[in-house]
Every structure is written in structure tokens, then in C-alpha cells.
Amino acid sequence: MKALVLCDHDLPTFKALPAGPIDVILGCGDIPDSALLQAQKRYGVPLHAVKGNHDADGRFPHPIVNLHLAVETFQGLTLGGHEGAPRYKPSGHFLYEEEQVAQPMAFFPRVDVFIAHSPTRGVHDRDDVVHQGFEAFRAYILSKRPGVFIHGHVDLDRETRLGETRVIAAVGAKVVEL
């Protein structure tokens, strides 16, 4: 199954989008809803997403499925996710303290594909407080072993393994084989 991962840009700045076929679109945040909807219209496939720290507050419009702390099944795969980034300023949308992420992640079920805006701590994150990953994501990956963990936020295009999990950093538009 092929997923088109979109994150951290507006659609007009994406390099040439693939012709297809694409089975699902996964949005990892910091991309306008209008750009997600434009991609969904182009491919005509389901779209699941989470919000990033630069996204506007509010719900996703239909037909975008919000995966924040939710589990959905798509073509036999379970999908789940978490929005936002570590709190790096006093106010703003989708900013979390580590403790706010750790509690729900401790009880979040195993999924095949987990999407997040921020990385896991120690894999693809940076030294600056804005782009650090969540330790709770690392604990989730090591204990629940999702097949794939996909994130944006750090402007990298890289794949790494953490235990049995493929950890994929995406920026712009990227096709991922699930």
C-alpha cells in the first residue's frame, strides 16, 4: 500500500506530486487544510492527518479524518496519531508538555502506522527546544512496536529504525510504502 505523506509546506511549494497510484494520504501537520483538501481531490483517496504547531486551531474539515489520539482502520491497517510539538512558548496551538503526551501514550493501543507532527526523542530530533522529540513517543515505539512511525516538524527526509519500527521523517511530499 502506498501512502502520500504531506507535511510542513503549502501544496504549491511541493515538488512534483507523484502521478499515482496512491492509496491513502497522511498529513503530519503544518500544512493548510486547503492544501490537504486539494491533494485529496486530486487523488480521490482517504485522508488522515494530525495538526502541527503552526496549524490554525479548530477541527479538520470533512473529509479529513483527525488521527490525534484516535485509531482508524484502513484496508486492514490500523492507523493512529498525535498532533503538535513540545511547548516552546507560553501560548500557541498544539503545544504540549512531556507529561501531557506521556499519559495518553502510555495507554494508546498498538497500531500499524502512527503519524505525528513531532519526532520521537533521540531519533531525527534536534538540540533546540522547538525541534526536540517526545520521550513518550520513544517509549511507545519500544513497548508497542508499531510497524511505521511517520513524522514531520524537523525538515528532514530520512528513515531510521528504532527497535522493530521504521521511523520516517518527511518534509513536503513523500511516498511511503506501508
The CATH code of the domain that includes 171 is: 3.60.21.10
CB 121 within 8 A of CB 98: no
Mean pLDDT of 111-119: 98
Can you give the length of the chain in residues? 178
Nearest Cα neighbor of 154 from 28, 5, 10 is 28
> Which pLDDT belongs to residue 119?
97
Higher pLDDT, 169 or 13: 169
> Which pLDDT belongs to residue 9?
82
> Which pLDDT belongs to residue 36?
93
Residue 76 identity (one-letter amino acid): G
CB 43 within 8 A of CB 66: no
Confidence of residue 15 (pLDDT cuts 50, 70, 90): low
| pLDDT tens string 24-59 | 999 999 999 998 998 999 999 999 999 999 999 999
Using DSSP, state whether 52 is helix, strand or coil: coil
pTM surpassing 0.85? yes
**HSE-up of residue 118 (Cα within 13 Å, Cβ side):** 32
Number of structural domains (the chain) is: 1
Full residue range of the structural domain in which residue 27 is found: 2-177
- Output the average pLDDT for the chain: 94
Cell numbers given for 88? 516552546
Confidence of residue 146 (pLDDT cuts 50, 70, 90): very high
Nearest Cα neighbor of 116 from 23, 33, 56, 51 is 51
